[in-house]
Amino acid sequence: MRFKLFFILFFTILIIKAQIIRGKIIDSVFNKPIVYVNISLINTHLGTITDEEGYFELEIPEKQKSGFLRIGAIGYEEKIIKITDFTNNPETIRLNPKPIQLEEVVLDTPARNKRKVGTLKKDKKNICGWGGNQFGKGHEIGLQIDLGEEFVNVTSIHLYLYKLSFKTSLFRLHIRDLDQNGMPGKELLKENILLNFDKKSGWLNFDLKPYHIFLKGKVAVSIEWLKASQPQEKKFTAVNGKKYLPNILLAAKNNKGIFYIRKGIELPWKKIVNKTPVINLSVQ
């Protein structure tokens, strides 16, 4: 009984010492909220994203109260803020739009010359993805894709969904260049591209033509889990030897490709060779 009482008091003290910071992130030019902004506690696995109104809330452990937040969104300049700058009231944080530098693109191939690049086929029962009710929020998986030496127009993305335990789940698309170590580097997209998963399994196809994406060379293509509805299924699925409930799983394939995975914005990328998720792009 004394042990239980001590544990309850100790846990209560920990909760009291933790600081909850709140804020709203808006566009500095139009004063409009920015949705799904990544907020991460630098050099930790802790982070969150803004909601549809631009608001966020993040619990900061006692030992991290002197740390810094990194705030980043596609199409905006990154901002770093001290935890100690936050008060008890929600802070309004303004992000500056990032100037878009357009590179001249010359297409030598006819527009009708369409092809798919990436992983086109799946292996039986070879899967990858996310498990748990909130595990994976902000977690990315992807692969390396070679677009070729000439600029191409990326017109659509295709993913094979092995299983979705939620009614819907929302993801963000990322396309990055590669750094000198062959890992995902600078974001190449200029705006948020959101992918809504709304079926239990099978091919998911998303039109990218409205975004006018022209790229070349080797890139890292990944999807980031933003949020999910309430789970609809209570069946466990094994992923890498562990059982998760519920889950969002993509088909995978053993091949000569490169698989990228990152379990949080501040965490390092990991690279797996000879396996990739079934994700491909249509280009022309």
- Give buried/exposed letters for 164-201 (b at 16+ CB in 10 A, else e): bbbeebbbbbbbbebeeeebbeebbbeebbebebeeee
Strand-pair partners of 238: 243
Assign domain 9-95 one CATH number from 2.40.70.10, 2.40.110.10, 2.60.40.1120, 2.60.40.10: 2.60.40.1120
Rg of the chain on CA atoms, in Å: 21
The domain defined by 115-283 folds into Jelly Rolls (2.60.120)
Tokens 């705030």 found at: 71
Question: Would you state the pLDDT for residue 103?
Answer: 60
β pairing state of 19-27 and 91-95:
parallel
| pLDDT tens, per residue, the chain with 284 residues | 444 444 444 444 444 467 889 999 999 999 999 999 999 999 888 889 999 999 999 988 988 888 999 999 999 999 999 998 887 778 899 999 988 665 655 555 555 689 999 999 999 889 888 766 555 567 899 999 999 999 999 999 999 999 888 888 899 999 999 999 999 999 999 999 999 998 889 999 999 999 999 999 999 999 999 888 766 555 556 555 666 555 788 999 999 999 999 988 888 999 999 999 999 999 99
Instruction: Spell out the domain ranges in the chain.
Output: 9-95, 115-283
Residues contacting residue 91 through CB under 8 Å, at least 6 positions apart: 21, 22, 23, 24, 85
DSSP state of 17: H
Chain centroid offset of residue 134 CA: 13
pLDDT score at 104: 57
What is the secondary structure of 149-185 as a DSSP string? SS-EEEEEEEEEEEEE-BS-EEEEEEEEEE-TTSSEE
| Strand blocks (E) in 4-105 | 19-27, 38-41, 47-49, 55-60, 68-72, 79-82, 91-95
DSSP string, 197-258: E-SSSEEEEEE-GGG-EEE-SEEEEEEEEEEE--B-----EEETTEEESSEEEEEEE-SS-E
At 13 the pLDDT is 43
**Phi, psi (degrees; rounded to nearest 5) at 85:** -80, -15
> How far apart are the two ends of the chain, measured CA to CA in Å?
70
- pLDDT of res. 75: 93
Listed in order, strand segments (DSSP E) in 61-146 are: 68-72, 79-82, 91-95, 115-118, 127-131, 140-146
